[in-house]
Amino acid sequence: MARRKQSDLAQRLETVIKTLIPQRDTNAEDLGPMMRAIKAVHSATDHTSTTPEDLERQRNAQELFARLVTPSLGIRNDALNIHGLPAEWVCLEHGHDRRHAVLYCHGGGYTCGQLGYARILASKLALCTGYDVLSFEYRLAPDNPYPAQIEDALTAWDYMMYMGYGARDVIVAGDSAGGNLALELCLKLKEQGRAQPRGLVLFSPWTDMTASGKSYRTCRTLDPMLTMEYIAAVRAAYTGPDADWSQPCYSPLFADLRGLPPTLIQVGTNEILRSDSERLADALQKSGGYAALEVYEECWHVFQQMPIHRAAEAMEAAGRFVQRLM
């Protein structure tokens, strides 16, 4: 029965997305329905295009995807505006811990991602931790390149401090580009001499914009979500085409990581960014920090979003990590 529900959801997602936007050749004939659905979202337009029209299609597809897979039972969403920054509290309706909170940075290659899309993992984080989760709609490239996103993350962090949370009451979480942003936020707090959050939870973080890890070669045909062409396009949109991607402000893997909080990193074996996670865990440990790396077999980029058993297992592990810290 569970497998039938999973298959029905995947087929529904694939069908609706294909009716929403024209599809290009995805080379996904050998993938199952769930993987084809994932591929459909990320193949909606030319991966190398960041034109307003293509970005609008990608963002619309993400919002539709979110409406289909976001947990909603027992969850309340409260919108707010933080000095012009759209944001949302995602909270359990009953019996949750109000003393602690999660600040969640959504993914999307710094070019996509809105509050509806962020709600997928924000809701799952609320469920697995029992904490209120604040997500925010940071400005997107190419219209707003670096450092707009870091500035918006600091605005969200400062709001939480204003609301009475201490730094040690907050977990910072992020996926993909949002994992990059979560790390850069912690590095900026360190630069400013401010207290670090209690912990970091990172799902498939993008940590190396130079793309120097071996998984960029070994997993390029295994990852159903990301391609090197897509990574190059969103990287250029975020930083500009002539940036030095080895700089820590773009690639936190190469930063001085001393003093960062205990960190959980989850990644799938089949994703292009696998090396980004493995090398980050190693770098954190070598810098004297604590890093727990969890590698999930046969999983893809940010698989935690999907309504599958391994995603539930991963979110439960994230919840246990957070509870141990608190």
Active site residues: 176, 271
* Three-state DSSP string of 24-58: CCCCCCCCCHHHHHHHHHHCCCCCCCCCHHHHHHH
Give the Cα separation of 282 and 291 in Å (integer): 8
One DSSP character per residue, 222-247 reads T-SS--HHHHHHHHHHHH-TT--TTS
Structure tokens at 104: 């969640």
Give the Cα separation of 103 and 134 in Å (integer): 5
Contact between 75 and 130 under an 8 Å Cβ cutoff? The reply is no
One DSSP character per residue, 164-210 reads T--GGGEEEEEETHHHHHHHHHHHHHHHTTPPPPSEEEEES----TT
Give the Cα separation of 22 and 17 in Å (integer): 9
Give the Cα separation of 136 and 200 in Å (integer): 17
Q: Are strands 199-203 and 263-268 parallel, antiparallel or unpaired?
A: parallel
Please report where in the chains the tokens 């012009």 appear, as a residue.
84
Measured from the Cβ of residue 221, the count of other Cβ atoms closer than 10 Å reads 11
Give the Cα separation of 273 and 43 in Å (integer): 18
Residue among 269, 221, 273, 303 nearest 6 (CA): 303
